[in-house]
């Protein structure tokens, strides 16, 4: 989402988090199904329809379909966002957009269960990678997400989380997107009160407290990290220099004993080495 001013955020109860976790399970299952189905010749609209079907099987619905985010004047009409190659995020599924061998595909879903939301994204390379650089981009972006989650600990700051993304990405020669940020989440997909930038200085920013829930989402390109809208729709965001983009995202809650990844496929997916600075 677009960066916004800080306002008071809401803290979630154990009961709230349980409902968000149900939404997170649905999101994780839908992403896995989409990733498995993302083969050459499959349309992005086919994948989007599949996402809706999987969510329904969990008693959840897309939080994106018919959603009008605070940064847009119009409603979004699909279950998911699917972005390819130099599209970094918010790509619109289309019946005539077909996946090709070697495409770097970003899959992004938010779901609602009993009024509570979860949001996650993955990047996958379909078939044979076109270059080692594409493979490295995906690997580095994913690793930066888990580095950041390990810093999402009670007593740390949001700057600690953001710096973990930036330092790993830039160390590997890629560019973080600075014009877009992760976001708070709860009863809406984009809850006001928290920004989660892909860059920052350790020890700075809001203190992380128990009950916070937010989406950490590294957005990275093989170029400078600058982005722009495409000319043909108000949603799709591409790298301004037309370089490859990658995007990973998890919804995370701050608990007393460490970060809780609400959108993990399994509880065991959570990082073990979470420590306060």
DSSP string, 58-119: TT-EESSTT---TT-SS---SSEEEEETTEEE-PPP-TT-B--TT-EEEEEEEEEETTEEEE
Q: What percent of the chain has pLDDT over 70?
A: 92
* 120-141 tens-digit pLDDT: 999 999 999 999 999 999 999 9
Which of 3 and 117 is assigned the larger pLDDT? Answer: 117
Mean pLDDT of the chain: 92
Domains of the chain are: 14-269 (3.90.230.10)
The closest of 103, 102, 79, 106 to 219, measured between CA atoms, is 106
Q: What is the pLDDT of residue 266?
A: 76
181 close to 195: Cβ distance less than 8 angstroms: yes
- pLDDT above 80 for 277: no
Burial class (CB in 10 A: 0-12, 13-18, 19+), 66: exposed
What is the pTM for the complete model shown? Answer: 0.92
Q: What percent of the chain has pLDDT over 90?
A: 86
Q: What is the pLDDT of residue 231?
A: 66
pLDDT band at 8 (very low <50, low <70, confident <90, very high): low
* 145-197 tens-digit pLDDT: 999 999 999 999 999 999 999 999 999 999 999 999 999 999 999 998 899 99
pLDDT band at 234 (very low <50, low <70, confident <90, very high): confident
pLDDT band at 267 (very low <50, low <70, confident <90, very high): low
Bridge partners of 117, per DSSP, are 112
* 44-95 tens-digit pLDDT: 999 999 999 999 999 999 999 998 877 678 899 999 999 999 999 999 999 9
- pLDDT above 50 for 275: no
Neighbours of 78 (CB within 10 A): 22
Q: What is the 8-class DSSP label of residue 267?
A: G
């Amino acid at each position: 989402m677009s960066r916004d001013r800080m306002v008071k955020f809401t803290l979630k109860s154990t009961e709230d988090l349980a409902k968000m976790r149900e939404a997170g399970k649905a999101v994780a299952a839908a992403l896995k199904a989409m990733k498995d189905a993302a083969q050459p010749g499959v349309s992005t609209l086919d994948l989007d329809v599949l996402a809706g079907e999987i969510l329904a099987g969990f008693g959840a619905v897309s939080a994106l379909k018919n959603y009008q985010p605070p940064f847009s004047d119009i409603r979004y009409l699909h279950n998911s966002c699917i972005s390819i190659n130099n599209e970094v995020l918010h790509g619109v599924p289309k019946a005539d957009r077909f996946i090709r061998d070697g495409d770097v595909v970003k899959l992004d879903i938010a779901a609602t269960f009993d009024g509570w939301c979860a949001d996650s994204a993955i990047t996958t390379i379909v078939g044979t990678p076109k270059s080692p650089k594409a493979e490295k981009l995906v690997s580095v972006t994913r690793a930066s997400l888990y580095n950041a989650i390990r810093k999402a600990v009670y007593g740390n700051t949001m700057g600690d989380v953001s710096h973990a993304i930036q330092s790993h990405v830039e160390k590997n020669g890629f560019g973080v997107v600075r014009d877009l940020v992760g976001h708070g989440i709860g009863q809406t997909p984009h809850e006001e009160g928290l920004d989660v930038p892909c860059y920052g200085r350790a020890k700075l920013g809001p203190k992380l407290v128990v009950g916070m829930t937010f989406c950490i989402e590294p957005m990275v390109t093989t170029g400078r990290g600058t982005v722009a809208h495409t000319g043909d729709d108000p949603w799709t965001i591409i790298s301004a220099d037309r370089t490859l983009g990658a995007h990973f995202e998890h919804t995370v809650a701050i608990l007393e004993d460490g970060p809780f990844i609400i959108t993990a496929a399994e509880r065991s997916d959570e990082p073990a080495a979470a420590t306060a600075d």
